[in-house]
Each structure stands twice: as C-alpha cells, then as structure tokens.
Amino acid sequence: MPRNSVENIRAEFAGYDADTFRRDVLAGITVAAVALPLALAFGVASGATAAAGLVTAIVAGLVIGSLSGAPYQISGPTGAMSAVLIVLAQRHGLPGIWVAGLLSGAVLLVVGALRLGRFIAFVPSPVVTGFTSGIAAIIAIGQVDNLLGVQTAKVDSAVLKIAGYFEGGLAPDWHALALGGLVIATMVAWPRAWNARFPASLLGIVAATAVAVAAGWDVARIGEIPRTLMLSDRLTLDAVPWADWRSFVAPAATIAALGAVESLLCGAVASNMTGIRLHANQELIAQGVGNMIIPFFGGVPATAAIARTSVGIKSGGRTRMVGIVHALVLLASMFVLAPVMSRIPLAGLAGVLIVTAWRMNEWEAIHFIFRRRLKTAMVTFGITLAATVALDLTQAILIGAFLSGAAFLHQIARLDIDVRDVDAERLRERGIVLVRPAEGIRVGYLTGPLFFAATDRFNAAFADVAAVRVLILSIRGVPLVDTSGLQALLALHARLAAHGGRLMLAGAHDNVRRALERGGVVEAIGEENVFWGADQAILAAERWSTDDAPPGDRPATPPPTDG
C-alpha cells in the first residue's frame, strides 16, 4: 500500500474510541441488513448463484473495504455489474465470469498504480446516464422469467429476450407472480424513513418467503446455501484457460471500466455527503486487488455500491470498519440463516431486482436533460441506452463516448473571427492619436481555440491578405493553440511576407505564448511583433507604416488595453 494511503488510514483512525466503534458496528449491521437480499439477488442476476453473490459481498467487504480510498466505500455485487455478467455467463459459463473478473482486477490494479484514475472522469454524463438506464432495462428484462415463474430460451440479447415473450405459448405461474408482486408492493409502499430501521427489500423477502412456505406453494427457490466461504465452484489456477485468454480481454475491459466508473461515481456521491475526498487511485487499487481474489472464492466481480454506502453514512458510520463489520455479519448469516435463505423464492428476488432497476435510473439527470431540451445530451443518452440494450456493453460505452466527443469537438470548434479596420475615433477617446489614417492596417479579434477543427475557418477568413500591410491578431480570447493552429499562423505569416506585409500578435495568454515559442511562430514573425495588447500593436504598426520605425518600441509597463 502506498505511503500516503497508510497515512490517510492513520488519520482516519486517529482518536478512535469505544463510542466510534459502537457507531461503526451499528452502521455495519444496518448495511448488512440492506446488503443481504441484494447480494443474493445480484448473485442470481449475474448468472451465478445466490451463494456466489453472498460470498462476493463478504470478500469484497473485507478486502476492498480494508484497502479502500475512503472510509465510507461499501463494495459488493451490484446491479450494473450483474447486467454485464449475465451476458458473459451465457457465452462462457461461470469460468468465463471468473477469468474475466480476474483480468479486470489486474487492469484496475494497473490503472490505479499508474495513477490514471482521473481519466475515468472523462466519460461524459449523458453517456453514464444512458448506460445506467440501459443496464437497468437489462436487469428488469432478465428477471421477467423469475417473476412470471416461466423458463424461456436463454439468449444473449435483451432484444431477443423481449421478442420471445411475444411469440406466445407462455403460461405464467400466478403463485410466482403474486410473490414477486408482494415484494414490489412492499418496497414501493414502505416509507423511506423506515428503511434505516428495517430495509424494505429484506421485509419483502421475509414476507414472500413466509407466504410461500405457509401456503405450500411449489415455486422455484434459491436452493442450498453452502456454509462455507470457499464455494465448491470457484476458480483455480489450473483451471484458468491461459491459452484462450484473448477471448476474455474485451469482457475484462468492460468489467474494469464499469467497476472504475461505478466506484468513483459512488465516491463522488459519498464525498458530497461527508466532505471527505475519495482517493481515486487507491480506490482502484483496492477494487483491483479485491476482484483478483474474489474469483478464487467462487464469487463474481464487485464494485462500490452507492445505496449501501449511503446507508452506512446515514447510519452514523465513521470509518472503514463499517464495511468490515457488514462483511462479518453477512458471514455469520451464511452459517446461521443458510437453511432459511435456501427457501427464498426466486420470484421474490426478481421483485427486489425490478424495483432496484427502476431506482437505478438517474432520474434527476434524465429530467434535467429533457426538461432543458439539451439536444446533444438527449441524442447521446438515447443512443447509449439503445446500444446498451441491443448491443454489447463495451460497444455501447464506445458509441456513447464517440458521440459525446464528436459533439464536444463541434461545440468548441466554433472559432469566432472579427476582422476590422482601425477605429481612429475609438483610439482617440482612449488618448491614443494616430499620426495619419492607418491605411492597410487591419485587426482580427479571435475568440475560441485555434486547433485542428478550427483551422479551416481561420484560413478562409485570411485567405486574401494581398492588400493588407499589417495584420494584427488579438488572441486574448484564444485559450489554446495546437500543432495545426501553429502551422496555420506560420502559413499566414508567409503569405503576408510574400508581398511585404507583416503579422503581429497581441494579448497571448502565458500557455498560448509558450506554445507559440515552442512552435517557432515567435521566432518567425520576430519578438518585436508580439505585444501585450492590440492598441500597442496598432501604434507600432502605424510607426512602421509611416517612417519605418521598429515596431518593438513598446513601454516596459504595458498600458491598459482593450485586448
């Protein structure tokens, strides 16, 4: 663990006493009560087993929670991850989940170790929102079988799954539908304020299980929950398909990207609640180590969970002991409550997942996008959502990111160019008197970045400079210049020089000035032709035009300019 991470943990536990420990224990128990039904449900939704989901929550709570980049992060199986894993399970089975999870952990570990965590934040908000909504749809669609008590053909596309329900011939089991409906009704009707005392999802599962057992309904159940942390179905080193590892690269990249985005998003939300900053790179290292270990216990990939993290904070938790206590409580429940959990109906878990999927949607962000009629964001959101449901999730992220990048380039490529003759009257009002009319001197005011996407407009604006003796470019409104922009400036200088004209620059910011120096523009036009402001440049240009005085005679302290 890096030194600064150790120092952060020491600061976290500075002054730790019995009262703080009591708060952490109570918060950990509360989080465990919320996590238990979700761990079971997400285990099933991932294409694995309820036991695998429980093992994931326990190992993630102990390993990732101990190494986390903040005291509040609670990790375990999540709905977003289960949507990715169910497709992977249908293609490669449980071994595919384990291998991809192992590789994704290695990717996260490397990204965190190289301190690249900040680049995860470059995924645009409409892409994340659309991706989240698409995942929510996949989760809900994947639970229709369990909710109806039917078994349809396994397909690796949510679209084909939906189409299968319209082919007819299905005979829903009303017992399963009633149990799922009971859980949904409980979670919707249960007041949110009461969730801190008893989670609605757990209450719904208890009620559905009690009804199924008391009525003797023959519905599909979770089945046996092994009383061991090391499941019989788990990854072993000799079972890793080393020769076929390339086929798992894309799934591993998807899992790693999703795990990183969800964990850092969780940290951002929790940071706003607590005022404690998440150390992103340390969090990615923790997620990487945890996800490399979990497959060897038989679990599925984990990530930080916003709901469980929020519960821990609202319950008064102070340190990472909350996540550890929650894991220990889940471990105890595995040994004590295994016979009871084995009788939980799958329809009840389907109810939990459907409500969870609905609540996963970032409704506030969606309402903002559509209420404000932000067209680019609306299109990006809609296409990312559709691609997530209809295509591979990796493709969905790439498509959404490409659309946002293209829209961003289109927006920032708007370089405004305003070319004017010298306004002698305005200069006179400022106390600047020209010796004679400034003939052949033009001033171009540039606003916006001068980069590859804007050079066409720049070249078109200054295509004809044959009649210009001096062209002054006021670039105070230019925040950056790239290689293409530097080349465009050099070409403009060459065109002016070809007929005895001169290029002057005014108002360059420090970073732009450095770029101009590195690109050879200052050397080409001469240091004497670079000014603080346009007014100075106009005076120097007028002197050069009238008596060939060197245009570099500018005062040591620049006067006020108009930029």
- The full DSSP string for 306-352 is HHHHHHHHHTT--STHHHHHHHHHHHHHHHHSHHHHTT-BHHHHHHH
Does position 469 have pLDDT exceeding 60, yes or no? yes
Place of tokens 């270990």: 293
pLDDT band at 472 (very low <50, low <70, confident <90, very high): very high
pLDDT at 473: 96
pLDDT tens digits, one per residue of 376-389: 889 889 988 988 88
User: Can you tell me the distance from the alpha carbon of 98 to that of 388, in angstroms, rounded to the nearest whole number?
Assistant: 22
pLDDT at 551: 45
Does position 518 have pLDDT exceeding 90, yes or no? yes
**What residues have CB less than 8 Å from 230, skipping those under 6 apart?**
297, 298
pLDDT band at 437 (very low <50, low <70, confident <90, very high): low
User: Can you tell me the distance from the alpha carbon of 454 to that of 416, in angstroms, rounded to the nearest whole number?
Assistant: 9
pLDDT band at 87 (very low <50, low <70, confident <90, very high): confident
DSSP at 73: -
User: Can you tell me the distance from the alpha carbon of 380 to that of 369, in angstroms, rounded to the nearest whole number?
Assistant: 10
Q: Which has more confidence, 135 or 396?
A: 135
Residues of the chain with CATH 3.30.750.24: 416-547
Torsion angles phi and psi, residue 442, rounded to 5: -125, 150
User: Can you tell me the distance from the alpha carbon of 471 to that of 264, in angstroms, rounded to the nearest whole number?
Assistant: 49
E-state strands within 134-281: none
Helix (H, G, I), strand (E, B) or coil at 455: helix
Helix (H, G, I), strand (E, B) or coil at 127: helix
Does position 519 have pLDDT exceeding 90, yes or no? yes
| Minimum mean pLDDT range among 69-73, 81-85, 211-215 | 81-85
Place of tokens 């559509």: 370
Contact at 8 Å (CB) between 80 and 360? yes
**89-96 mean pLDDT:** 86
Contact at 8 Å (CB) between 280 and 68? no
pLDDT at 293: 97
Q: Give the CA distances from residue 315 to residues 62, 272, 281, in Å, rounded to whole numbers and listed in that order.
A: 19, 16, 27
Question: Which tokens sit at 71?
Answer: 């005291």
Does position 325 have pLDDT exceeding 60, yes or no? yes
Q: Which has more confidence, 558 or 483?
A: 483
Between helix 18-45 and helix 50-67 the angle, nearest 10°, is 140
pLDDT band at 545 (very low <50, low <70, confident <90, very high): low
Other Cβ atoms closer than 10 A to 29: 15
Q: Give the CA distances from residue 440 to residues 425, 498, 503, 539, in Å, rounded to whole numbers and listed in that order.
A: 17, 15, 12, 13
pLDDT at 165: 75
pLDDT at 560: 41
pLDDT band at 91 (very low <50, low <70, confident <90, very high): confident
Torsion angles phi and psi, residue 298, rounded to 5: 95, 10
Other Cβ atoms closer than 10 A to 344: 26
Q: Are strands 470-477 and 441-447 parallel, antiparallel or unpaired?
A: parallel
pLDDT at 432: 64
| Minimum mean pLDDT range among 2-11, 97-106, 551-560 | 551-560
Helix (H, G, I), strand (E, B) or coil at 470: strand
Does position 531 have pLDDT exceeding 70, yes or no? yes
Closest CA to 387 of 377, 375, 395, 379: 395
User: Can you tell me the distance from the alpha carbon of 538 to that of 506, in angstroms, rounded to the nearest whole number?
Assistant: 10
| Minimum mean pLDDT range among 43-52, 181-190, 227-236, 409-418 | 409-418
Which ranges of 344-422 does DSSP label H, i.e. alpha helix?
Answer: 346-360, 363-371, 375-390, 393-412
Question: Which tokens sit at 453?
Answer: 């996407």
Q: Is 461 exposed, middle or buried (0-12, 13-18, 19+ CB in 10 A)?
A: middle
Does position 549 have pLDDT exceeding 60, yes or no? no
**What integer best gives the mean pLDDT of the chain?**
87
**466-485 mean pLDDT:** 93
pLDDT at 428: 65
Question: Which tokens sit at 226?
Answer: 């092994």
pLDDT band at 554 (very low <50, low <70, confident <90, very high): very low
**468-487 mean pLDDT:** 94
pLDDT at 435: 55
Q: Which residues of 401-411 are buried (b: 16+ CB within 10 A; e: fewer)?
A: bebbeebeeee
Contact at 8 Å (CB) between 34 and 202? yes
Does position 547 have pLDDT exceeding 70, yes or no? no
Q: Are strands 416-421 and 441-447 parallel, antiparallel or unpaired?
A: antiparallel
Cα-based angle 84, 286, 270 (whole degrees, multiple of 5): 80
Q: Are strands 530-531 and 502-506 parallel, antiparallel or unpaired?
A: parallel
pLDDT at 56: 97
DSSP annotation string for 190-216: S-GGGGGTS-HHHHHHHHHHHHHHHHT
DSSP at 154: P
Place of tokens 């904070």: 313
**138-167 mean pLDDT:** 81
**439-464 mean pLDDT:** 91
Q: Is 207 exposed, middle or buried (0-12, 13-18, 19+ CB in 10 A)?
A: middle
User: Can you tell me the distance from the alpha carbon of 277 to that of 270, in angstroms, rounded to the nearest whole number?
Assistant: 9
Does position 299 have pLDDT exceeding 60, yes or no? yes
Does position 100 have pLDDT exceeding 50, yes or no? yes
User: Can you tell me the distance from the alpha carbon of 511 to that of 509, in angstroms, rounded to the nearest whole number?
Assistant: 6
pLDDT band at 120 (very low <50, low <70, confident <90, very high): low
Q: Is 196 exposed, middle or buried (0-12, 13-18, 19+ CB in 10 A)?
A: middle
* pLDDT more than 90, % of the chain: 53
pLDDT at 280: 92
User: Can you tell me the distance from the alpha carbon of 101 to that of 248, in angstroms, rounded to the nearest whole number?
Assistant: 9
Q: Which has more confidence, 499 or 106?
A: 106
Cα-based angle 549, 555, 561 (whole degrees, multiple of 5): 105
The superfamily CATH assigns to domain 416-547 is: STAS domain (3.30.750.24)
User: Can you tell me the distance from the alpha carbon of 395 to that of 449, in angstroms, rounded to the nearest whole number?
Assistant: 31
Other Cβ atoms closer than 10 A to 66: 17
**229-235 mean pLDDT:** 92
pLDDT at 556: 34
User: Can you tell me the distance from the alpha carbon of 549 to that of 463, in angstroms, rounded to the nearest whole number?
Assistant: 28
Does position 521 have pLDDT exceeding 80, yes or no? yes
